[in-house]
Copies of this chain bind each other. A is one copy, B any other.
Amino acid sequence: MSDTNVADFPQNNEQATTDVGGVAGDRLKSFIERVERLEEEKTALMEDIKEVYGEAKSVGFDIKIIRKIIRLRKMDGEKRREEDELLELYKAAIGMHS
């Protein structure tokens, strides 16, 4: 935390939190840390998602198909074309080559 603290860049390290160069240091720092905390959580979530996919894969599912299904459900409606692709994937997965 101390060595490469970029956020402190235009800031004095005296006791108080006051402005330097027109930038309210502490306020800024607080925003930065809030974002960083949220991004950490987001990263954790992304890892969780990956794990679920890994689990599904290890049980024999085709991740590509699952992803497509999820995307499809999100779109939900329009894009019938995607459904066609899914159908093709299913057929390929079953070994039913078109």
Instruction: Report the contact-size class of chain A (Cβ under 8 Å from the partner).
Output: 35 or more
CA separation between A56 and B29, bound complex, in Å?
11
Chain B residue contacts of A56, Cβ below 8 A: 28, 31
Residues B79 and A72 in contact, CB atoms below 8 Å apart: yes
- CB within 8 Å of B: which A16-39 residues: 21-23, 27-28, 31-32, 34-36, 38-39
CA separation between A5 and B73, bound complex, in Å?
7
A residues adjacent to B (C-beta < 8 A): 3-7, 9-10, 21-23, 27-28, 31-32, 34-36, 38-39, 41-42, 45-46, 48-49, 52-53, 55-56, 59, 61-62, 64-66, 68-73, 75-86, 88-90, 93-94, 98
